Structure 1
């Protein structure tokens, strides 16, 4: 069998081509600790705590500026696979998108006033 769901494309991007080839060709099982060490997973949580941990992460992400998150997602997506100068251009375009946004102004004000921001989303 061949891995489905993007396994032959996603795994090399996470762990490198040689390591992915060994894992795919040998079809060996990987325990959780090794998966984390290899970079196949980002975080391990106690059994039964996966939903709670995922919702906590989602909450931390959702608490950030919607404008900033959109720009960061775009920069990550468009910059993937580019050389560094081109990737930095993509990032700079994202920064220019938010530099004069309402979210940036609110973020600076909230920081200075030591309060949680109330993002306008623009």
Structure 2
């Protein structure tokens, strides 16, 4: 059997998925994307998992698509729900639980898009982000042209998209692509600390807060506010809401069950 391209680790309420193609700088091939999709779905079904951290190696979070696999991609893949990368990126785009990217080294092409698909990006100070697809006569196909604009604004995103030139971790943090900037050696520790902090909150509240925030990117203001209001009211019918309020009034830590 071939070595797994995604390593899975579980710490308390956090799943850690580490890309494991070090010789290829964690480039995305069909096997890695299938394994990542399966790992994400497994964690989504597990009520004990309340946050997911996605990581790479010190040299590369992910250097992008494996160029050797692009020759097999055809135009009709656009209609294939299992076409190149579509399954993994579709799952990421609609994922219920918080996704945290711990980015060290290169995050190029599909690797940058993988980070962009996460909710929180912790960048090591030597990380570099780029979408160099135009140099290959291509464009980002995993959400890069859309999510980069939302993350950084039109002007900075267009410079990256049209030149293909990468930016430093410091530039990514200043532009809003990265949530936090830390020393490389602290990147995983900080990502896990954020996941642990999230896991202490009501899981249904976290999921519906993420759902509401996603509406801000996908809907107009009126529709987004309606979604927020709906999710706000839904939480009033949960046991977790009652537990959270009771714990606050009783000055104790809440014990959420996700119900």
With the length of structure 1 as denominator, give the TM-score of the two structures: 0.89
Matches within 5 A, 1:28-39: 28-39=165-176
Aligned to 1:25: 162
Aligned to 1:112: 249
Q: Which has the higher helix share?
A: 1
Residue by residue, what CA displacement relative to the aligned partner does 1:22-68 show, whole Å, maximum 9, x if unpaired?
12222222121111111111101111211111110100111110121
- Correspondence 1:47 to 2:177: no
- Correspondence 1:84 to 2:84: no
Aligned to 2:44: none
Structure 1 contact 79–90 (Cα < 8 Å) conserved: no
| Corresponding residue to 1:63 among 197, 200, 219 | 200
Aligned to 2:239: 102
Stretch deviating more after TM superposition (66-75 or 87-96): 66-75
Structure 1 contact 14–40 (Cα < 8 Å) conserved: yes
Gaps spanning 5+ residues in structure 1: where?
none
The structural deviation recorded for 1:103 is: 0.6
Stretch deviating more after TM superposition (55-64 or 79-88): 79-88
Aligned-partner Cα distance in 1 for 2:187–2:142: 21
Aligned pairs, number: 122
Structure 1 contact 65–103 (Cα < 8 Å) conserved: yes
Q: Which has the higher strand share?
A: 2
The structural deviation recorded for 1:91 is: 0.3
Aligned-partner Cα distance in 1 for 2:150–2:217: 10
Residue 80 of structure 1 aligns to a residue whose secondary structure is: helix
Structure 1 contact 79–91 (Cα < 8 Å) conserved: no
Structure 2 contact 202–258 (Cα < 8 Å) conserved: yes
RMSD: 1.6
Structure 1 contact 36–42 (Cα < 8 Å) conserved: yes
Aligned-partner Cα distance in 2 for 1:7–1:81: 15
Stretch deviating more after TM superposition (15-24 or 86-95): 15-24
The structural deviation recorded for 1:79 is: 4.1
Flag the 1:34–1:9 CA change in 2: closer, same or farther, 3 A: same
